[in-house]
Amino acid sequence: MVDGSRTTHDLAEEILELMPSLGRLLALCILEAGEEETTVMQVSVLLHILKHPITTSELAKKPRVSLQAASVFVRGLVERGWVVRSPDPNDRRQFLLQITPEGLERAQMAQRQMTDCLAQSLHDLTPEEIAATAIFLGGLRRVVQAQMTLETDEEPYST
């Protein structure tokens, strides 16, 4: 129970209701920066590849999309010059995805824009709401990462 009257189920419903709006807000933040070609998913994937070069197959497993969809997505990143494929030293049949300097610049610029825009949106929160949100987000991150690690036995897909 939360606040004596709310359950974890209530919280889950509220989070799920908020997620599409948050995604649209972040997409608008990118558009306002003049980044019409960049999506929130592209930024997320580019930043993930920066930390951990992976294959297209591994990328498809992270958000659980089809290999075909991941391949089309990666092809778009390669065509834009944001990602390159390099031979995997551990498996010559595979290619590791690596972010290019242009891809890194694009991802970092979009991430800064999203952060600044979201921070501006949060400006009206009270100090108490900010403190409560920080506590909640820390707990949410912990339980989500623990669940993802249990389900996949690998590092969670970070955004």
Bridge partners of residue 54, in order along the sequence: 97
Would you kindly state where each structural domain of the chain is located, as residue ranges?
A: 8-152
> pTM score, two decimals?
0.74
- Cα–Cα distance list, 131 to 127, 138, 139, 142 (Å): 6, 11, 13, 17
Asked whether the beta carbons of 127 and 83 are under 8 A apart, the reply is no
Could you report the per-residue pLDDT of 97-121, keeping only the tens digit for each? 999 999 999 889 888 999 999 999 9
Could you report the per-residue pLDDT of 66-88, keeping only the tens digit for each? 888 888 989 999 999 999 999 98
How far apart CA 154 and CA 133 sit, in angstroms, is 28
Asked whether the beta carbons of 41 and 148 are under 8 A apart, the reply is no
Query: Given this structure, which CATH class describes domain 8-152?
Result: mainly alpha
